[in-house]
Amino acid sequence: MIRIGVIGCGYWGPNLVRNFHAIPEARVVACCDKEVERLQRMRALYPEVDTTTRAQDLLDAGLDAGAIATPPHTHHSLAKAFLSEGMHVLVEKPVAQSAAECIELIELAECRGTVLMVGHTFEYTAAVNLLKEIVESGEIGEVLYISSTRVNLGLFQQYVNVIWDLAPHDISIISYVLGKEPVSVNACGISHFSDGIEDVAMTTLTYEGGPMAFLHNSWIDPNKIRKMVFAGSKKMVVYDDLEVNEKIKIYDKGVEKLVCHDKQKLFEYSYRYGDVHSPVLEDFEPLGAECRHFVECITHKKTPRSDGYSGLRVVRVLEAASASLRQLGHAVNIEHPDFAEI
């Protein structure tokens, strides 16, 4: 029985408690939050779970694992404290606010022999895993470019800009599907309501040998949109997370360049308009799959799909995007150290 403590009972924390509560091999022993009203709600839902406003109480409770669902600027310090006590840790994205902090957590987890897992929940969805299979199979051919739109009205964050808030999802999905990291990042953004905290941003990720990925993130859009387009040389795939039944659509559409053999060497283009296919997806809650994976990794001493290195890769892109914002959109290269040296 894995004894778990959850810290942060705002929006996401209760979902973690609910999903861990449904796993026979796990038991949520305690949850923590600064807001007493949130804890009262948790006690009403789960009378057997202890509640506290002090993070130290979780550290003193002799727990096996801790799940962190607090604001991003607290992730590193809390994860470090839990890992130092020999606890396994599941921390929401982003795992930390710098690559240096990520590396410190990775080293600490490896030293203690504990699991460090990052809540890149979309990597556990049926849609994203099918998308990965489609791309890797070569069905759509070479990926030419990727377009991702993740926008809505609010919620404005106090400590991070819209890139650090929304783009981690896009970055983790794209890098997971492609199986590689970008080599450089360009980012442009603007702050309309809070100085220094961009609420609208466009980010470009460049991958060695292609493709390029374009991310649009906003807190001031009238519509909530969660859509990604993978345009291939043979076919195209659209992933719309807000679709209920057809999250993945494969379009048999494309364009080919034909050379005209004449003195002017002109080019002609052949456009293909084929069918649209939407595969049936398995129906399950991604967070439930993520929580079960965390427990399995602890029980069977496995490496998580979204481990500390996965979190580090996302944070390196976010750091580069922040640097590009300060440089008015100039490209910032991403260093890729040998993980074996960490």
- Give tens-digit pLDDT for 241-282: 999 999 999 999 988 877 766 666 667 788 889 999 999 999
Query: With 50 as the cut, is the pLDDT of residue 160 above it?
Result: yes
Q: Under a CB-based contact definition with an 8 Å cutoff, are residues 276 and 252 in contact?
A: yes
Q: pTM, whole model, 2 decimals? A: 0.93
Counting Cα atoms < 13 Å in the Cβ hemisphere of 181 gives 18
Q: Which residues of 121-139 are buried (b: 16+ CB within 10 A; e: fewer)?
A: bbbbbbbbbbbbebbeeee
Helices of type H across the chain: 13-21, 36-45, 55-59, 75-84, 99-112, 126-137, 162-178, 286-300, 308-326
The neighbouring-strand residues paired with 190 are 200
Q: Return d(Cα 202, Cα 215) in angstroms, integer.
A: 6
pLDDT digits (tens, 9 = 90+) for 30-62: 999 999 999 999 999 999 999 999 999 999 999
pLDDT score, position 339: 45
Show Cβ contacts of residue 301 under 8 Å, excluding neighbours closer than 6 positions. Answer: none
Q: Grade residue 222 by pLDDT with cuts at 50, 70 and 90.
A: very high
pLDDT digits (tens, 9 = 90+) for 67-125: 999 999 999 999 999 999 999 999 999 999 999 999 999 999 999 999 999 999 999 99
Q: Under a CB-based contact definition with an 8 Å cutoff, are residues 247 and 281 in contact?
A: yes
DSSP 8-state symbol, 185? E
pLDDT score, position 258: 77
Number of H-type helices and E-type strands within the chain: 9, 15
Q: Could you give the C-alpha distances from 172 to 46, 100, 155, 205, 277, in angstroms and in order? A: 33, 19, 21, 12, 25
